[in-house]
Amino acid sequence: MAEVLVFHHGHGLTVGVRQFAEQLRRAGHTVHVPDLFEGQVFDSLGEGMGYAEDTGFGTVIARGTAAAEGLPAELVYLGFSLGVLPAQKLAQTRPGAKGALLLEACVPVAEFGGAWPHDVPVQVHGMDADPFFAREGDVDAARALVATAADAELFLYPGDRHLFTDSSLPSHDEHAATQATHRVLDFLDRIK
């Protein structure tokens, strides 16, 4: 079973993020879910991203990095949207990473210092018409990652919803979220 560090999206640590983490626990994985927003949960993504901007994206990433301290090096890092920033950084730069699951976002690997580590498998999930994922360069970064990494997969789901995996948000898409969850669990089951 894998040990997973899950980072929430721009709404904060929502009920849906907690439920997703609980699904991983029920499958037998050890899951850690830090709160990068220090208790703040926002009704709108705009408000949450405003908080992240005011706090500083570097600070949000640093909070994610701090959450990994004291945990084993052999973690899988999972991020939802904004949470992809600390997840991807740690997967690329913290020795011992066992994998990365990037949901609804992906940044160019150069953002965190160059090539993707050869021994770190990665999955990227997003909707093909999501205005954030598909139209702001994330899907291009994901395609580049998949083209260069040794063990990488990109899963595109039909639709235009951002945060489709969070069951507590109106953007939730049950069919796509179920597919993504099965693929995430299959990925985690392969981690040794």
Q: Which two tokens stand for residue 18?
A: 């907690």
Q: Would you state the pLDDT for residue 113?
A: 85
pTM for the complete prediction? 0.96
The answer to whether the CB of 165 falls within 8 A of the CB of 155 is no
Q: Where are the domains of the chain?
A: 3-190
Beta bridge partner(s), residue 12: 9, 41
In CATH terms, 3-190 corresponds, of 3.30.470.10, 2.60.120.200, 3.40.50.1820, 3.40.430.10, to 3.40.50.1820
Q: Would you state the pLDDT for residue 93?
A: 95
CA angle 21, 23, 28 (to 5 degrees): 100
What average pLDDT is seen over the chain?
96
Q: Would you state the pLDDT for residue 114?
A: 79
If one compares 1 and 23, the residue with the highest pLDDT of the two is 23
pLDDT above 80 (res 157)? yes
Measured in residues, the chain has a length of 192
pLDDT above 90 (res 192)? no
pLDDT in tens, 94-116: 999 999 999 999 999 999 987 89
Mean predicted confidence (pLDDT) in 33-52: 95
